[in-house]
Structure 1
Amino acid sequence: MFQAAVLAISLGLAAPAGPACACTCLPPDPADQVDEADVIFVGRVERVVRVGQAGGRPISATVFRIERSLKGDVGTWTAVRHQSGDSSLCGMQFDRDREHVVFARRAEGRLYAQACSRDWLPLERYEAELIKLQTR
């Protein structure tokens, strides 16, 4: 019996692994999320444009009409680049029919967002963290 169990475990360990495609994000601490973002805003999607590929995955730029700027300077319109598609593959999709709280970082003059930086909590929670950050 013991030998059969060892053999079964050994065969399981020797089996080839499938491709790793999952993207798992634990909800970040809201204080860290607010602190690490260069720009935070509430906006509505105006359009999405595919701008290229990285690592075989599509990259899009989503253009937002800014309704409220919470941190950083974004003007009245801004584009945020992100990996397109399913969040299980680290992609992001922004719905046209609702407001989004967007957390983005600046690099090379552009704004970038990633699946793990999406809005996990109600806006009020992030606003409270911004107030704490400003009073430090």
Structure 2
Amino acid sequence: MRASILLAALVAVSTLAAGAAWACSCVRYDSAAQQLAEAYVMFVGRMTSFSNHAMGDDYPHAMHMARFEVRRTIKGEALPVRAVMHAVDGAMCGVRFTPDRDYTILARVQDGVLTTSACSAPQFPLSDYERAARAE
């Protein structure tokens, strides 16, 4: 009886540890200026469409390329449309965007492509980023 309880406890702990290893964990920034400094662009835009994007057989996670109609640029070149790559799997810090909704996007450049994730989500009010952008 004790052996089966011990075994069940070990299995439960192993399962929890494995789940935690696959969880998304993000940095907490001290200020909007610090988070903005790490972004290549920041904009407010309406998500208009997305497409599935294959990363190859050795990368099994779903990726989307979301297109945004830019309403306001906070940092970076002001372009009317931006395409941003993102994972959709929560364990990969993925995000899901809904068409015809406005989003505030902070994105980096990876291999020449804008990318974002749950960890890039704004952590401060938009006005803090606007103030930080004016100070740059």
Pairwise same-fold verdict (TM > 0.5): yes
Aligned 8 A contact 1:39 1:74 in 2: no
Matched pairs, number:
125
Structure 2 letter corresponding to 1:70: I
Structure 1 letter corresponding to 2:48: E
Which aligned segments of 4 or more residues in structure 1 are displaced greater than 4 angstroms?
none
**How far apart are residue 74 of structure 1 and its match?**
4.8
Which residue pairs with 1:76 in the alignment? 80
- One of 36, 40, 43 as aligned partner of 2:42: 40
TM-score where L is the length of structure 2: 0.76
- SS of the residue corresponding to residue 82 of structure 2 reads strand
Deviates more, 1:115-124 or 1:17-26: 17-26
Gaps of 5+ in 2: none
Larger Rg: 1
Percent identical: 29
**How far apart are residue 27 of structure 1 and its match?**
3.5
- SS of the residue corresponding to residue 69 of structure 1 reads strand
1:17 and 2:21 correspond: no
Structure 2 letter corresponding to 1:80: V
Gaps of 5+ in 1: none
Q: Structure 1 pair 91/106, CA: closer, same or farther in 2 (3 Å)?
A: same
Which residue pairs with 1:49 in the alignment? 51
**Deviation digits for residues 9-65 of structure 1, max 9, x if unmatched?**
xx95x5462233211325423222100101111101001111024742101110000
**Deviation digits for residues 60-102 of structure 1, max 9, x if unmatched?**
11000000111111511111001014x4551111233432111
TM-score where L is the length of structure 1: 0.76
Q: Structure 1 pair 74/83, CA: closer, same or farther in 2 (3 Å)?
A: farther
- SS of the residue corresponding to residue 119 of structure 2 reads helix
1:119 and 2:122 correspond: yes
Deviates more, 1:18-27 or 1:35-44: 18-27
Aligned 8 A contact 2:108 2:116 in 1: yes
Q: Structure 1 pair 108/24, CA: closer, same or farther in 2 (3 Å)?
A: closer
